[in-house]
Amino acid sequence: MRLYQTLVLTTLCITNVVHAIWLDTNNDTTIREDCNLIAKGLLDYYEGTKYGGTIGMFTPPYYWWEAGGAWGGLIDYTFFFENDTLVPLIKAALEYQTGDDNNYVPLNQSTTEGNDDQGFWGIAVMGAAERNFSNPEDPDKAWLTLAQSVFNTMTARWDENECNGGLRWQIFQWNSGYDYKNSVSNGCLFHIAARLARYTSNDTYVEWAERVWDWMYGVGLLTEGDWWFVYDGAKVANNCSNITKYQWTYNQGLMLAGCAYLYSYTQDKKWYNYTHRLLDGSRVFFKNISGSMVMYEAACQPSGTCNNDQRSFKAYFSRFLGLTSVLVPDTEPIITKWLVDSANSAAGSCSGGTDGHTCGLDWTNWTRGWDGMYGLGEQMSALEVMQNLMAHKRPAPYTASNGGSSLSNPAAGYGTSITNTSPLHLGPGDKAGAGIITAIVGVSLIGTCVWLIL
């Protein structure tokens, strides 16, 4: 047993946290059993199996986008543990929420849906294609086709009128944030393009990934230096020159894994270089506790201000780290150490709630164990950090030529509701709601500016 495991256990015993789940990162059975428990807790937030609930949606206050994030993590769960129990549930959710045009811009979500929201559902179905997840009967809902539809509708919104390119945060003009071009929206497009390139061997997707990368780099959303960082975004005013310098785990992960996919497919040294530089920069999201490197959301966790969205970011970051370590093998030692240390610490935090194994937000304090926080994001993050310990024990993401069986339609999504022109009829409540939410996000951002200085 390693030193930190002993420390975690000892402190848990001293503090009488009897329920914390026991994880042995060398024992696949305990990883699986822990993930089963955590997945069960995650699905407590699922609406679709409850009376009057909507298929694919989690209970309020969780936004639609986070459901896309959760399904993406659960697809991996079924694959890593070769457990088909949840497949029908996940499949129904992914199929129900495609929207009438099969592009993940469903009418119900038009008051809040941004490019990033669509992107996270796109990433979920891309993962479904790569994991050879059970194929839908309707060819228009084939996982790959849906991912292509998301890609095509996103690229149709590429906006050269402001800042020489880039996607805006919002799809619809009436939503706050339409004047903002951010890394998560552009990062989703970059990431999906990279994965489509590798899956389909179609170089048009590489060209798009390069276009997005070059734009983000040119504007200053990606910074070089000793460490490469991904900043949050910039308002279109003044040619996107005023960069909002918050750093989030999921943005770093989107770009990191995107580069890893591009290197895996093109073997171009450039992407290898960028993968390593972004990996070096990822170090800022790990707290060194007696040599143990524990993942944390550095921009909001220490100040206790993470909102519901931000509380799920470590889930995607864990997933993207796992993928990177598989696609660019020499990143594996450092990523495995980060995941093992973080998974152990996360397990130590899963001692809350009435079930005794609800997971917390902050994994960095072993004395305390569970920090009293709970929610969909906490469950997702603990699940993904633990299940990615399995990333090397199962096949790498499949492609069309080595195991994937999802139907391709490179033209999917063309001619559908791809642009941002015709406003829908919004009730005043809806509009105010969106505005207030954005205001709250804005205030908490200002309050939580944490400069990540090493």
Ligand X SMILES: *[C@@H]1O[C@H](CO)[C@@H](O)[C@H](O)[C@H]1NC(C)=O
Task: Note if the bond before 302 is cis, omega within 30 degrees.
Answer: no
Beta bridge partners of 170: 114
In the complex with ligand X, the residue whose CB is nearer, 39 or 123, is 39
In the set 41, 106, 253, 348, which binds ligand X (CB under 6 A)? 106
In the set 10, 273, 303, 419, which binds ligand X (CB under 6 A)? 273
Query: Around Cβ 92, how many Cβ atoms within 10 Å?
Result: 15
Q: Write out the two tokens for 427.
A: 């009730």
Does residue 164 touch ligand X according to CB under 6 A?
yes
Does residue 54 touch ligand X according to CB under 6 A?
yes
- Helices (H), ranges, 22-63: 28-43
Site string for ligand X, 192-231 (x = CB under 6 A): ----------x-x-------------xx----x-------
Please give the sequence-ordered ranges of beta strands (E in DSSP) within 157-217, or none if there are none.
180-182
Q: How far is the CB of 322 from ligand X (least distance, A)?
A: 19
In the set 11, 307, 405, 409, which binds ligand X (CB under 6 A)? 405
Which range in 82-90, 111-119, 181-189, 257-265 contacts ligand X by CB under 6 A? 82-90
Beta bridge partners of 114: 170
In the complex with ligand X, the residue whose CB is nearer, 180 or 317, is 180
Query: Around Cβ 100, how many Cβ atoms within 10 Å?
Result: 10
Q: How far is the CB of 74 from ligand X (least distance, A)?
A: 9
The phi-psi region of residue 233 (left if phi > 0; otherwise alpha if psi is between -120 and 50; otherwise beta) is left
In the set 6, 49, 59, 108, which binds ligand X (CB under 6 A)? 108
Instruction: List the strands of the sheet with 180-182, edge to edge.
Output: 180-182, 233-235, 243-244
Does residue 10 touch ligand X according to CB under 6 A?
no
In the set 27, 49, 303, 419, which binds ligand X (CB under 6 A)? 27
CA–CA separation, 362 and 281 (whole Å): 21
What type of residue sits at position 445?
A: L
Does residue 452 touch ligand X according to CB under 6 A?
no
Does residue 136 touch ligand X according to CB under 6 A?
no
Q: How far is the CB of 339 from ligand X (least distance, A)?
A: 15
Q: Write out the two tokens for 122.
A: 């796109």
Does residue 85 touch ligand X according to CB under 6 A?
yes
Query: Does an H or E element contain 293, and which?
Result: strand 292-295
- The count of residues interacting with ligand X (CB under 6 A) is 34
Q: Write out the two tokens for 339.
A: 């995941």
Does residue 96 touch ligand X according to CB under 6 A?
yes
In the complex with ligand X, the residue whose CB is nearer, 164 or 419, is 164
Closest listed residue to residue 304, CA positions, set 444, 405, 416, 201: 444
Q: Write out the two tokens for 235.
A: 């308002």
Parallel, antiparallel, or unpaired for β 222-223 and 292-295? unpaired
Binding site for ligand X (CB under 6 A): 27, 29-30, 32, 36, 39, 54, 83, 85-86, 96-97, 106, 108, 132, 163-164, 202, 204, 218-219, 224, 239, 242, 273, 288, 290-291, 365, 367-368, 403, 405, 410
